[in-house]
Structure 1
Amino acid sequence: MGIVGRFCAVDATLECLFESPHPVKKLLFSVLCAGLCMRALAQEPTMISDLRDLQWQHRILVLNEPHNPEALFERLSTNAAAFDERRLIWFVLHGGTVQTNYPETPGDELSTNIRSQLNAGLNEALLIGLDGGVKARGNRLDLEALYAMIDAMPMRRAEQRE
């Protein structure tokens, strides 16, 4: 039954229940309505399939096929505050998987889309700005240099003044 059908059924039940003076029926009905409303408003988890969906919202760090992904995840995790401060999201592409600090689930095609759009090489790191342009790429990840580069960007300086 669709949402409209549920609400029509609820409306008919509402008339019936509120004609009754019994408080327990009214309480049960309120609980039923709350449950139906929450279910109707619940959304399927969203998936990200293209980095362009993040343009103007986040800076992006893409790490393609790193040599030591476990050590990399540890470095990225310990620097979470610095990433958050700079609105920096990371994506690590390793094998057929994508790991990220972005809250949405990576779609199955994200890895393929990133590799084809950015032409990322093995063990390559790419920094993508808020405007969607590639700002830097290289085979060595120096987080302090990355932060300095981001902090020197005009949009980041404007964010820091706010």
Structure 2
Amino acid sequence: MSATPGTGTESTVLDDLQPLLLGVDHVGIAVPDLDAALAFHTEVLGNRLVHEEVNAEQGVREAMVAVGPEDGEGRTLLQLLAPTGPESTIARFIDRSGPGLQQLAYRVADVEKASQVLRDRGLRLLYDEPRRGTAGSRINFIHPKDAGGVLVELVEPAE
């Protein structure tokens, strides 16, 4: 069954996918220099560094920065992503588009199930199987050509 969104008769994709979408997890920003970006976001804007790591598989040095109250209620996360070398995806993104907004990430209850629901609806995902993301999370991405030009990440947080 298919219909116009918002009419109350949406296809079952909403029934299948909506319970898996828990909220916006973070917004990813590609930066050429992580230390400079961290200084801006923490020292100038007053945000807090909550996690930093190198993800060799993805070719990035990354930091999660929290915006908002320290108790975490309703906090927003920014993921700053710097390339570890010229062949990383982030390096290629910066070469092509310049630094800036790189992706929108949704937190999901089950990345494999969400990926399958999306594939069943004809969307392309970048990985056949979820990969390791920040802080041990499991991730996959919806191809930007299938998401209005936006790279959409699916994040299942580590338990």
TM-score by length of 1: 0.24
Larger helix share, 1 or 2: 1
TM-score, normalization by structure 2: 0.25
Quick check: which has more Rg, 1 or 2?
Answer: 1
- Structure with a larger share of its residues in strand: 2
